[in-house]
Every structure is written in C-alpha cells, then in structure tokens.
Structure 1
Amino acid sequence: MTTRKIAKDYEPKENNRPTFILKTREGENRAVSPSQKNGGKKDHPENHPQGVVQNKAPEPRPLTMCQEMNNCIKFMDENLQLCDNPVDYLYDQQDFLVVGIVGGQGVGKSTILSLLTSNYAKNIFPVHGLSHHETGTHCTNGVDFYVTKNRVIYLDTQPILSCSVFDATTASFEQKKSPTDFTNSESHNLEIQSLEFTAFLYSVCHIIIFVQDWFVDPNLVRFLQTAEMLKPSSTTNLDQDYVEYYPHMLFLHNKAELKFYSKVFATSKLQTHSGLDMSVTSKDGQLNLFLIPFITNKDEPTIHENEKELIEKLRRKIHGITRNPMTPAILTEKNWYHYVSKVLEAIKKSHLSLEYGRLMP
C-alpha cells in the first residue's frame, strides 16, 4: 500500500514537467523578423567581417572643383556668338544665380558690377574711361562673364541703343558677310538689335539691373516694355501648367522719382516690386530702385563709407532674392549654359522682331 501511494504521488510531478518544458519551447519559438530568421548565423560579425561595409550606402562623390576666376572672360564675343570657355567654370549643381545688367553707353554698368564683385578682386570688369569719352566709343563688346565662389554669375553687357556698337557690328558684318545672332540682312537695325539682345537677357537671367544716369529717359522705359513683348517663351508645351518666366527687374539710378516707375510698370509682368530696394527690411509694394550717389573724391572717408554701405546692401539684396525657375525642368549651371544657346536659336528664328520692325515708323 505504501508503494502505490508513493507512485501516485510521483505521477503528477512527471505530468507537470512536460508542461513546464513546453512553455519554455513556446517562448523560444516566438515570432521573429524575416531578417532574423534567415540570417541569424549570417549576421554574426565573425562569420562575415565585411558584411557591414558592404551594406553601407555609397558615399557621395565630392563636387569637382572648377578653376577660380581672377578676372572676367568673354561669354559672347563682339558678334554676339556664344563662347565655349565659360562652361569650364560652371558646376553641375542647381544652386546658382544669374545677374545681368542693361543700360546705355557710359552709364556705369561695368563699374556697378566691379563694385559688386570687389570683395573678390578689384576692377574685375573693364570700365568706361576717358579715352572712350573722347572718341565716343563703347568699352564692353558682347557679354563679359564672371562667376563668384557663392555661385553668382554676373553678365556685363555691351550698351543698348549705342551707335558705336552698331557701327562696329556693321563693319564686322560687311567684312565677314555673315550675320550675327541678333543682326541679319532683313533686320539690320539698331533698335531691333538692342531689343532682341535685351529679350535674350530677360530669358537667361534671374535679375536684370537696369542702369540710368542723369535723368529718366521715357524712351528707354518704353524700350524695356517692348523687349518684354519680344521675349521668347520659356516652354514649347502649351498644355503644360507652367507659369511663364520673367526676371526680377532692378532700377539703379542716380536721381529718380519713385512714382514714375510705379505708374509706368503698373501693368508689366516683370517683377519690379520684389524687395530689391534700399530699405533695410523689405516691405510690400516698394519699387526695386537703388540710388547711387556721385563719387567726387574717393579719398573722402564719408563718401567712400556711404558707397561701401550701399554696395554691400545691394549685394545682400541680390543674393537673397527668390530664384524662380527659368524652365519647367530644374537647371544646373551647365544646363543653363546649354539653355542659353537654345534661347539664341529661338530668337534667331522668331519673326516677332521682324514684324515689329515693319511696323516701326
């Protein structure tokens, strides 16, 4: 009897032990991620010491450094043909700003751009000197090019509506017997040539600096509006939901009235009120106007300091402007260079300037 009792007391203990073991196995067989199921042994660092290195994302390649510029080079020659050298100074990246300048002969276009780039080098752009005044000739031929370390591209242009430029272009045309991009046998006209050239700048620049001195010329204001009309479209797809590109227009003048520009450009699509003014803090509704004073003596500290402050303020305003896309596709610096050549071809093939020339009195 005693033996049976011991056996009965022992039996339940044997039955409880498998239950305890099953619980342990159930805990060991809990759900795991597929990567742990398939690669438990594989993920051990001793089994594949190079596994971690192989799974790393590829490191980004450093940007190829271009040559640094010490002075300006030709972007377009005296015949307004696109040069190849500027592409060597351009990166394949999208964060860049193009600043062009427009104005008559001897108004200070090259001087303004030289002041804007004076923190890199002095007198980067050749300026209009006494010899040019005495002979009545212009200084800049075609378009000069300079790009800063901050990826700001400055384009210094030949004067618009200049008889000196027209004479030089006519002489070149007669010698080579071949038309330039903005001059051909049918539209060999000073105003048409300048209009096509300005319309070209409207298409390839983020900011246009329009320089005048002495007084506000209403004829030049009408000229800017006509060039806006002749500007080629930045896209050929009419069905695409794309807003036509227009650059920021900055009026740089010695003496001017704000109301004059505001009234005349009230219906213009050019961005004339985008914060490129002389105020410290940008305010809505202010005209993009800068007044540069006469500098009589560079040795006078007050005048020199005022000049430096104005140029620094102008530089900050330009660098901080909104960079609207020129085309539906985002352009890199090198893409922009190739886009320039396409705009040249579009202007050459456009009949708008010829039609406008026929309607001129």
Structure 2
Amino acid sequence: MSESGHSQPGMYGPGRRRRRRRGERDVGPPGQNLSGPSRDREYQQRERRDGSEDPPGPLIQKTPIILAKPPGDRAKPPQNTATSGTPVLEKPIMLMKARDEGGKPGTPQETAAQPSGPGPSKMEKEGQRPTQPVYQIQYRGMGPSASSSAVDPMVGQAKLLPPEKMKHSIKLVDDQMNWCDSAMEYLRDQTDMLVVGVIGLQGSGKSTIMSLLSANTPEEDQRSYVFRAQSQEIKERGGNQSTGIDFFITQERVIFLDTQPMLSPSILDHLINNDRKLPPEYNLPHTYVEMQSLQIAAFLFTVCHVVIVVQDWFTDLNLYRFLQSAEMLKPSTPSASHDSSGSSGSDDGAEYYPHLVFLQNKARREDFCPRNLKNMHMVVDKLMAHSHLKYKGTLSMLDCNIFPGLGHDFLKTEVNMFLLPVHEGEGEDHLTKAGTYPLFSLLPGYRGHPTFSYMVSKLRSQILAMPRSQLSHTILTEKNWFHYAARIWDGVKKSSALSEYSRLLC
C-alpha cells in the first residue's frame, strides 16, 4: 500500500483496498494497531484529507424521464368536478420525442435531466450522448387546471369533430350572377365528395326533388325543405322561387346545387316590367335570360359529377337543343400542363363530361307501361346520339324491381332515365279514394306503380351510387373544388365563345 493509504491502481483497481489474506494481521500506521471498524474509518478519513474524489461506480444508462405538470400548477386545487361533486380525472396525453441535446437552457426537459450536483454529468464527461427517449406528459386544454402553455384543443381536435350540419341552403351564385363565398365555411379537406346539380324548366319540381334527395322526406312539410319550393302564391302568379344557384352539402359529403329555371318566362317578365338595367354586352332581355341559362348549364357540366334534367312531361325538343348548346359552350377542362400550346381541350379523351340523368317528374300511370317506357328510352337515345355527355349506362329502373319479369335485355338502348309518379298528397290519388260503393272505398286505388316514397328512395340510392369521376387533372378536396368552381364560373362569364354566341342571337 502507498503512504496515503490507497491501493495501487494498476494492481487492485481504483479506490479498492487489497483484500486481506487468511491469517494476515492488520497492520496500521507506525505506533498504532487498529481493529477492523476503526481501521475502515481511519482509511476513509485519510482519503477525504487527501482530496481525492469518491470512487466512481459502474456506468448507468439514462432511464426515461417522466415530466409532470409545472410545480406552479400542482398546488392548484382540481376544478374539474362533475355535477355530483365527484372529481373527474383528466386523461393525460403522452408524447414521445428524442432528447434534444442543443435545447435552450432552462426548459423543463433539460432541467429535469440535469444531475443534482454541480458540473456536467458522468456521461457528458466521457463523450457519450443519451439515446433514451423522453416521455413527456402534457394536459392539452382538458380543463381549467391545464397549464397556460398547453396547445389549443381546437387545433388538435378539429379533424375529429363532426362536420357542421347545414339546416338550409345558401347562395353560391346570387340573382345578379355574382359568386358568393359563404359556402366555404362548410367545406373540409376531404376528397370523397359527390357533386349533384339540377336543371329544368320552370315549375318542373327541381327544388322539391333536390330537397328529397338531400335531407328531407316526402312526409315533411314543404315549408321546411332545405331548398324552398314554390308557394301557392308564386304558383298562382306564375313566378319562380329559385334565383341563381343554391348550395347545400349533406353529412355524407354530397354537394347539391339547385338552379333557377332555364329559359324562364317569369325572369324575362321581371326584366321587362321592372326596367332592370341589362349588362352592356346584352341588348335584349330575352338574350340575357337565355345566356344566363347557358352559363349555368355550362358551369354545371364542368363542376358536377351528376346533372339531373327534370321534366314534368315528355318531352320538349327545345330542352334538348338547349342541352346541346350548353355542351358546345362548355369551358374546356384545365390540363395538367398549361404551358404546352393547344393541350387544353384539344382532344376529346382529356375532356371531362358529367353523367346526365333524365328525371320524368309527375309521371302518369300510362308512362309506367313497359311499351311506353321503351319508346321514351328510344326517343332520348336518338336525340342525344351525338352528345359526349354520359347519358346512359349508369342508372337503370330495371334494377329497382319496379317491373317484375322484365329483364335487362328488354331495353336495348337504356338511357339514364327515371320516372317519379305524382305525389300521394296531390293529383289523381284523391280521385281513387272516392267511390260509389262503400266496400270499394276501403280498397286502395290501383296505381300501376310503387308509391312515391318508394320511388324517391330508389332514385336517391342510385344517384348516390353514381361514379365519382375526376373533375380535373388533380384530385380535388372540397375546398379545392370550391376554388376550382369559382375559377370556372369566372371563366364562363368572360368566355369569348359565349360572347360570340350571344352576338349571333341578336
């Protein structure tokens, strides 16, 4: 042993005493013979006087550190209690992240990870970096007792909240043909959407059909429909209820667009009698009304997956001429590369066309006859033979079990056509209940078709099952669709093709 009482480091290791052999006496300093406990205390005192450090122990890896709330918030009494007085425990959120070596001094992670004694830790002296993760517990705004530095819960839980439910429709395009931005707050960053638009002549029942497809049932009062239908007063004076384009989105992320009547005589009468000032590019009121209708139809052909053409009698040839003109004036689908000349709408393969559904509203009993149904399909197929619109192959009445015994080969040229009978609350069904004999009055009247509610449910299921084609060269979310539709509407209003067409109408 050395004079200071330490063992030789090379022989016995740092800070360790040589073990006494059996039979060997304890020899202390000269003039002193100490027993075992006294000798150990003497050695410890000599080591402290020499100024040497405590013997280093084995290297211990850093263990995960659990950080709780700041000390200032721990003293606060819990304020989250239920109505019965029982405290409600807040569920913590555990975050795992790697230890930041170059963090700012004084952060809770670094303060808790520092050793209690002064100076760097043993691992930092030897050049080793801690690799263990730090588990941090935070209370993210779960109650009044949460820390002031907690994250706003609306930021982390915005995507978990259910979408806001609309109770009535709002304006997408007003009566002055100006774009409205109020629909933006109901849209989300989701791509699984379906856009359904409707066009038709005045009084054909467009708003009623869209309300039944979106949020209402036939048993409800029409005054509570999301798209306002014509009131009795408006029907008596031959007016129109809808103006511009109305917007409504369901909880199933289906966007419905209701429009003002196409080629409406009531809108033309309003322009003439009220002496409304026309835009400078239009000279005659009837030209302005027709161009408004063409702008709306061309817009729907560009931004919708499905466009429903509502008729209340079969059929008007002027409506098919109008559809062909709107298809001709439809703006080209924007291409992926705008720099290449002639790439926008140059070939028909890259052009987008929606699915077209012909809805025969207020159909009579004889319209459901298989022979008449076959003739209607043949007429529509011949009128739309040269159209690029997808008017057949995606909707079938034969799949609804409405005509039992008829196979799919019965309609060789089946188009997207659906028939809706007259509502039970109006029309001919009241006549069938009145009978001469009391026994016959107890029997239900013969309809020749299912009920109106059954037909509406079948139509809704087929409309919602329509293919959701890609509207542009990129997959659009709901918010992106809104901006895309606004750009298309601005392009339709400034279209040179529409301006030239309106000049030829004069």
TM-score (norm 1): 0.76
Are 2:340 and 1:243 aligned?
no
Which residue in the other structure is 1:185 paired with? 282
SS in 1 for 2:479: helix
Name the residue aligned to 1:269.
388
Taking the aligned partners of 1:337 and 1:170, their CA distance within structure 2 comes to 34
**CA-CA distance at 1:285 after TM superposition:** 5.5
Task: Tell me by how many angstroms 1:114 deviates.
Answer: 1.6
Q: What residue is the counterpart of 2:418 in the other structure? A: 290
What is the aligned partner in structure 2 of residue 207 from structure 1?
A: 306
Q: Deviations over 1:103-134 (max 9, x none)?
A: 01100001111211245885221112321222
Deviations along 1:322-344, one digit per CA (max 9) or x if unpaired, are: 11111111111111111111111
The residue number in structure 1 matching 2:209 is: 112
Establish whether residue 233 from structure 1 lines up as the match of residue 336 from structure 2.
no
Matched, 1:341 2:486: yes
Q: Is 1:357 aligned with 2:400? A: no
Counterpart mapping for 1:133-144 below 5 A: 133-144=235-246
Letter in 1 for 2:262: I
Query: Tell me, what secondary structure is at the counterpart of 1:292?
Result: strand
| Pairwise CA distance, 1:355 | 2.2
1:77 matched to 2:222? The reply is no
Matched residues, number: 311
Q: 1:264 to 1:292 in 2, by over 3 A?
A: same
Alignment of 1:150-189 (within 5 A): 150-168=252-270, 174=276, 179=279, 184-185=281-282, 189=287
Higher-Rg structure is 2
Which of the residues 53, 56, 65 maps onto 2:96?
53
Query: Residue 187 of structure 1 contacts residue 354 of structure 1 at CA under 8 Å; is this kept in 2?
Result: no
Greater relative contact order (CA < 8 Å, ≥ 6 in sequence): 1
* Residues 320-335 of structure 1 mapped to structure 2, 5 A cutoff: 320-335=465-480
Report the structure, 1 or 2, having the larger helix content. Answer: 1
**For each residue in 1:233-265, what CA deviation from the matched residue of structure 2 results, as whole angstroms up to 9, or x when unmatched?**
121534479721111100001356111111111
Aligned residues of 2:302 and 2:331 also touching (Cα < 8 A): yes
CA 1:62–1:194 in 2, change beyond 3 Å: closer, same or farther? Answer: closer
> Contact 2:163–2:251 (CA<8 Å) still a contact in 1?
no
Structure 1 stretch displaced more, 102-111 or 277-286: 277-286
Superimposed CA distance per residue, residues 130-175 of structure 1 (whole angstroms, 9 cap, x where no aligned partner) = 2122211101111121111000111111000002123445678835
TM-score by length of 2: 0.55
Matched residue SS, 2:302: helix
Amino acid at match of 1:342: R
Deviations 1:170-215 (A, max 9, x none): 678835x7x4xxx843685122221122111111111100001122
Indicate conservation of the 8 Å contact 1:202/1:231, yes or no.
Answer: yes
Distance in 1 (CA, whole Å) between partners of 2:500 and 2:246 is: 30
In 2, Cα distance between equivalents of 1:352 and 1:187: 18
Alpha-carbon contact 2:216-2:226 (below 8 Å) kept? no
Moved more, 150-159 or 239-248: 239-248
Contact residue 196 and residue 256 of structure 2 kept, 8 A: yes
Task: Give me the whole-angstrom Cα distance separating, in 2, the residues matched to 1:214 and 1:72.
Answer: 27
Give the drift of 1:47. Answer: 3.4
Q: Separation in 1 of the partners of 2:161 and 2:386?
A: 45
**Equivalent-residue separation in structure 1 for 2:320 and 2:487 (angstroms):** 27
Amino acid at match of 1:262: D
| Ranges in structure 1 where 5+ consecutive residues have no aligned partner | 1-43
Between the aligned partners of 2:61 and 2:269, the Cα distance in structure 1 is 78
Judged with a 3 Å threshold, the aligned counterparts in structure 2 of structure 1 residues 64 and 91 are, in CA distance, closer, same or farther, namely farther
Q: Note the aligned Cα RMSD (angstroms).
A: 3.3
2:183 aligned with 1:86: yes
Cα contact 1:248–1:274 (8 A) shared by 2: no
CA distance in 1, matches of 2:450, 2:314: 25
Deviates more, 1:73-82 or 1:185-194: 185-194
Secondary structure of 1:214's partner? Answer: coil
SS in 1 for 2:276: helix
SS in structure 2 at match of 1:174: coil
Cα pair 1:66 1:88 within 8 Å, conserved: no
2:315 matched residue in structure 1: 216
Taking the aligned partners of 1:170 and 1:230, their CA distance within structure 2 comes to: 27
Once residues 150 and 84 of structure 1 are traced to their aligned partners in structure 2, the CA distance between those partners, rounded to angstroms, is 21
| Higher mean C-alpha deviation, range 104-113 or range 160-169 | 160-169
* Corresponding residue of 2:225: 123
1:98 alignment partner, SS class: strand
SS of corresponding position for 2:175: coil
8 A contact 1:75–1:144 mirrored in 2: yes
Looking at structure 2, the residues matched to 117 and 76 of structure 1 have their Cα atoms a distance apart, in angstroms, of 19
Check the 8 A contact 1:203/1:234 in 2, yes or no: yes
Counterpart secondary structure, 1:208: strand
Partner of 1:319: 464
